[in-house]
């Protein structure tokens, strides 16, 4: 498999591109894979109710075993062109998922950068369709949530209605009613 | 000959955040005596210089040129008085190597971006509009550019004597033609046309022995800059073959960047109420004050003593300023080298995207206080040296300077050098309300450039001895 990354950037919407990897699970590793996924789900950032994954440039991460646990899908949405970050994946993000990837074919310790590239490119499939319901990067969305939380706090103040009458706050008043 | 330069390879780089999975081997000692000095060592400032681009009409004469240049190249740290009168660096474009007679199989082994050439990468690099290759200064970006020669000298008299001798030598090898000359210089202050001291945040390279000026950044593996040595991934960068040609070489990026200094000054004047605010806005855009003092260490006013202190002006990180109240995340210097500011995000390893820069100035400085363009061509000759055109120069240019996704501001670009159509903004975090400068115009126009390869000395001898066809 070649490693010409420029031809495979994935489909993007705004600043975000889809990124899907389809792996073959090592024979007999199905149960161990499930255990590793349960362990991940118990880790900070992945527990139910947690929203701060350690990797700040992905919107979500899902691991889906399928075909009787012989295959594994890793699907995410990445801020930026993921192919530009290929070498960076080897340095940090891949290691975070080490306990999962060691159950898939091709992850043999990734002894070289070429091995990393082959591991990713052999598994990556570009989406046939990809759409998003909102724009913005993870950083922008986190910021937007912070701002909205602050805004709601302002609205809970009995003095908010008067304060928002100032002409400079008109755009906020416009979205304060519901 | 130069005495051999001791090269330490024992400097540890704790926390050099790269793949443990790749098990970094201890690298072989750097063959300093075989590496062209300009890549690893800065020339004593101030200096004057000239860049010559040459076209090889006759391969035999091209090889003769290399033979004549070889004894003039001085590897290792720059001597105070270069024996030829100037510190020379020689590099070749892909077309130049082809014309010299480098075999096809070897040509194919070079990095794809090098083989394509900078002009072909224009869309990727944001060299569009006024910066597009169709408008580049000829012969930049054409197949006529074969050899790039940089000659830097302590003073103008030395330089002219070298150039005169070069001209004389060239008469004896008529099959090589000088097709472009660009004079350059570095001021004693280190300042470039925008008025800011430049070239401060250079990475320390493991095994070279130059001092580490940023204690937060252990020396970068030599293989990030010189081919044939382990890099930050623990592996070797793809190296051109045969080994004699690739080893100890480095890729060079050469860009002539016209700076719209009057427009920059006028923009700051328009946005500021006072001279002090004007200086502050300029510093916020650059990430440093004019003296070179970093905003993180001196957030409120310039500190010339700090700016000129090489032991302090690069010794900082951004973890205490993640929100950018001192130095905006979008400031030029912070974009070009985010230092430790992205470490906690786990998505990027800054050590994989470091650049050695050897930039110089060209054209007359716009006199202080002048806000009207005087029509002079002035700017920066940007020079990069590194083992990876794509993940070093092109990554920094496309992901960090021309884009704002990585800082959560996709619509913002580098306020100084970003490829912009003038519609972008620049955000300055400050209490109580952030300031947003709208419609930042383009302050830099690409006049042209080339991707080159600067071979080691053995490789140059190999090139000089290539057989006829």
- 8 Å CB contact of A56 and B20: no
The share of chain A scoring above pLDDT 70, in percent, equals 96
Burial class (CB in 10 A: 0-12, 13-18, 19+), B40: buried
At A96 the pLDDT is 82
- Compute the nearest-CA separation of A16 from chain B (Å): 9
- pLDDT band at A125; cut points 50, 70, 90: very high
- Preceding amide of B46 cis, omega within 30: yes
Determine contact: B399 vs chain A, CB below 8 A. yes
Largest separation between any pair of C-alpha atoms in chain B: 71
Residue of A nearest to B351 (CA): A88
pLDDT higher than 90, residue B280? yes
- 8 Å CB contact of B406 and A80: yes
Would A115 be classed as within a structural domain?
A: yes
What average pLDDT score do residues B11-34 get? 55
Would A128 be classed as within a structural domain?
A: no
Secondary structure, 3-state, chain B:
CCCCCCCCCCCCCCCCCCCHHHCCCCCCCCCHHHCCHHHHCCCCCCEEEEEEEEEECCHHHHHHHHHHHHHHCCCCCCCCCCCCCCEEEEEECHHHHHHHCCCHHHHCCCCHHHHHCCHHHHHHHCCCHHHCHHHCCCCCCCCCCCEEEEEEECCHHHHHHHHHHHHHHHHHCCCEEEEEEEEEEECCCCECCCCCECCCCCCCECCCCCCCCCCCCCCECHHHCCCCCECCCCCECCCCCCHHHHCCCEEEEEEEEEECHHHHHHHHHHHCCCHHHHHHHHHHHHCECCCCCECCCCCCCCCHHHHCCCCCCCCCCCHHHCCCCCCCCCCHHHHHCCCCCCHHHCCCCHHHHCCEECCEEECCCCCCCCCCCCCCCCEEEEEEEECCHHHHHHHHHHHHHCCCHHHCCCCCCCCCCCCCCCCCCEEECCCCCCEEECCCCCCEEEEEEEEEEECCHHHHHHHHCCCCC
Least confident of A31-35, A95-99, B117-121: A95-99
pLDDT higher than 50, residue B431? yes
What average pLDDT score do residues A39-60 get? 89
At A8 the pLDDT is 61
pLDDT higher than 60, residue B9? no
pLDDT in tens, B92-138: 999 999 999 999 999 999 999 999 999 999 999 999 999 999 999 99
Pairing, β B360-362 against β B250-259: unpaired
- Compute the nearest-CA separation of A112 from chain B (Å): 5
Q: Could you tell me if A87 and A165 lie in one domain? A: no
pLDDT in tens, B342-382: 999 988 999 999 999 999 999 999 999 999 999 999 999 99
Full domain range(s) for residue A150: 138-174
Pairing, β B444-454 against β B426-428: unpaired
Interface A-B, measured as beta-carbon pairs within 8 A, has a size of: 92
- 8 Å CB contact of A57 and B395: no
Mean pLDDT of chain B: 92
What's the CA gap between B229 and B26, in Å, rounded? Answer: 10
The number of domains in chain A is: 2
- pLDDT band at A100; cut points 50, 70, 90: very high
Q: H/E element holding A98? A: helix A98-101
What average pLDDT score do residues B390-410 get? 97
Mean pLDDT of chain A: 90
- 8 Å CB contact of A90 and B235: no
- From chain B, the residues in CB contact with A92 under 8 A are 17, 346-349
What's the CA gap between A139 and B86, in Å, rounded? Answer: 49
What average pLDDT score do residues A54-64 get? 92
Would A131 be classed as within a structural domain?
A: no
- pLDDT band at B8; cut points 50, 70, 90: very low
The share of chain A scoring above pLDDT 90, in percent, equals 71
By Cβ distance, the residue of B347, B403, B409 closest to A88 is B347
b/e map A1-12, b = 16+ CB within 10 Å: eeeebeeeebeb
Q: Could you tell me if A157 and A107 lie in one domain? A: no
- 8 Å CB contact of B20 and A109: no
What average pLDDT score do residues B148-155 get? 93
pLDDT higher than 80, residue B13? no
Q: Could you tell me if A161 and A90 lie in one domain? A: no
Would A94 be classed as within a structural domain?
A: yes
Would A142 be classed as within a structural domain?
A: yes
Q: Could you tell me if A91 and A144 lie in one domain? A: no
- 8 Å CB contact of A93 and B19: no
pLDDT in tens, B201-228: 899 999 998 889 999 999 999 999 999 9
At B235 the pLDDT is 87
Least confident of A70-74, A156-160, B168-172, B262-266: B168-172
Q: Which of A44, A106, A113 to mutate to test the interface with B (most CBs of B within 10 A)?
A: A113
What average pLDDT score do residues B150-159 get? 91
pLDDT higher than 60, residue B14? no
pLDDT higher than 90, residue B275? yes
What average pLDDT score do residues B186-191 get? 91
b/e map B281-299, b = 16+ CB within 10 Å: bbbbbbbbbbbbbbbbbbb
Q: Categorise residue A110: left if φ over 0, alpha if ψ from -120 to 50, beta otherwise.
A: left
pLDDT in tens, B24-77: 445 789 999 999 999 899 888 889 999 999 999 999 999 999 999 999 998 988
Domain residues of chain B, as ranges?
Answer: 258-449
Would A55 be classed as within a structural domain?
A: yes
Q: Could you tell me if A47 and A108 lie in one domain? A: yes
Q: Which of A4, A9, A91, A114 to mutate to test the interface with B (most CBs of B within 10 A)?
A: A91
The share of chain B scoring above pLDDT 90, in percent, equals 81
pLDDT higher than 90, residue A6? no
pLDDT higher than 80, residue B289? yes
Q: Could you tell me if A53 and A76 lie in one domain? A: yes
- 8 Å CB contact of B345 and A111: no
By Cβ distance, the residue of B20, B21, B347 closest to A57 is B347
Would A36 be classed as within a structural domain?
A: yes
- Compute the nearest-CA separation of B246 from chain A (Å): 19
Would A146 be classed as within a structural domain?
A: yes
At B67 the pLDDT is 95
CATH number where A46 lies: 3.30.70.100
Q: Could you tell me if A118 and A73 lie in one domain? A: yes
């Amino acid at each position: 498999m070649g490693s010409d990354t420029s031809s495979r950037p994935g489909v993007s919407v705004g600043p975000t591109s889809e990124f899907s990897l389809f792996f073959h699970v090592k024979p007999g590793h199905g149960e161990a894979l499930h255990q590793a996924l349960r362990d991940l789900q118990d880790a900070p950032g992945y527990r139910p109710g947690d929203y701060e994954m350690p990797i700040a440039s992905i919107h979500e991460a899902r691991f889906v075993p399928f075909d009787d646990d012989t295959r594994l899908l890793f699907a995410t949405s990445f801020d930026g062109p993921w192919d530009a970050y290929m070498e960076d994946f080897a340095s940090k993000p891949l290691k975070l998922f080490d306990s999962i990837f060691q159950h898939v074919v091709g992850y043999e310790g990734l002894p070289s950068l070429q091995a990393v590239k082959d591991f990713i490119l052999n598994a990556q499939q570009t989406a046939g369709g990809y759409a998003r319901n909102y724009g913005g990067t993870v950083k922008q969305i986190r910021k937007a949530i912070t701002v909205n939380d602050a805004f709601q706090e302002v609205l809970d103040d009995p003095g908010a209605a008067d304060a928002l009458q100032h002409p400079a706050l008109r755009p906020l008043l416009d979205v304060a009613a519901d | 000959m130069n005495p051999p330069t001791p090269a330490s390879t024992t400097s540890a780089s704790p926390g050099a955040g790269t793949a443990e999975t790749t098990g970094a081997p201890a690298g072989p000692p750097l063959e300093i005596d075989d590496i062209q000095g300009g890549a690893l060592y800065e020339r004593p400032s101030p200096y004057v210089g000239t860049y010559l681009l040459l076209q090889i009409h006759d391969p035999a004469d091209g090889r003769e040129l290399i033979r004549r240049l070889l004894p003039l190249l001085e590897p290792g740290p720059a001597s105070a008085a270069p024996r030829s009168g100037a510190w020379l660096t020689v590099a070749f474009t892909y077309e130049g190597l082809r014309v010299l007679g480098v075999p096809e199989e070897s040509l194919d082994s070079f990095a794809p971006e090098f083989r394509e050439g900078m002009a072909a990468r224009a869309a990727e690099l944001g060299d569009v509009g006024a910066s597009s290759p169709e408008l580049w200064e000829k012969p930049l970006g054409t197949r006529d550019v074969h050899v790039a020669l940089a000659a830097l000298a302590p003073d103008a008299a030395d330089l002219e004597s070298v150039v005169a001798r070069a001209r004389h030598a060239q008469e004896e090898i008529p099959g090589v033609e000088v097709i472009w000359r660009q004079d350059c210089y570095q001021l004693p202050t280190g300042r470039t046309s925008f008025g800011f001291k430049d070239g401060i945040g250079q990475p320390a390279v493991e095994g070279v022995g130059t001092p580490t000026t940023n204690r937060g950044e252990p020396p970068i593996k030599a293989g990030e800059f010189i081919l044939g040595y382990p890099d930050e991934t623990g592996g070797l960068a793809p190296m051109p073959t045969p080994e004699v040609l690739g080893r100890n070489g480095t890729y060079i990026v050469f860009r002539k960047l016209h700076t719209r200094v009057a427009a920059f000054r006028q923009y700051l004047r328009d946005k500021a109420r006072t001279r002090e605010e004007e200086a502050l806005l300029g510093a916020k855009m650059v990430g440093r004050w004019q003296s070179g003092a970093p905003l993180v260490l001196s957030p409120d006013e310039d500190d010339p003593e700090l700016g000129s202190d090489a032991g302090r002006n690069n010794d900082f990180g951004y973890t205490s300023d993640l929100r950018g109240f001192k130095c905006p995340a979008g400031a030029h210097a912070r974009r070009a080298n985010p230092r430790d500011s992205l470490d906690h995000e786990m998505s990027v390893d800054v050590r994989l995207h470091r650049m050695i820069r050897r930039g110089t100035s060209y054209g007359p400085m716009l006199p202080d206080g002048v806000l009207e363009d005087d029509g002079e061509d002035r700017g920066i000759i940007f020079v990069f040296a590194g083992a990876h055109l794509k993940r070093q120069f092109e990554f920094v240019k496309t992901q960090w300077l021309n884009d704002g996704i990585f800082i959560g501001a996709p619509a913002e670009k580098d306020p100084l050098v970003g490829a912009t159509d003038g519609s972008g903004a620049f955000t300055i975090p400050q209490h109580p309300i952030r300031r947003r400068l709208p419609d930042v115009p383009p302050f830099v126009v690409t006049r042209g450039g080339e991707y080159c390869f600067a071979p080691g000395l053995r490789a140059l001898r190999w090139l000089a001895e290539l057989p006829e066809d």
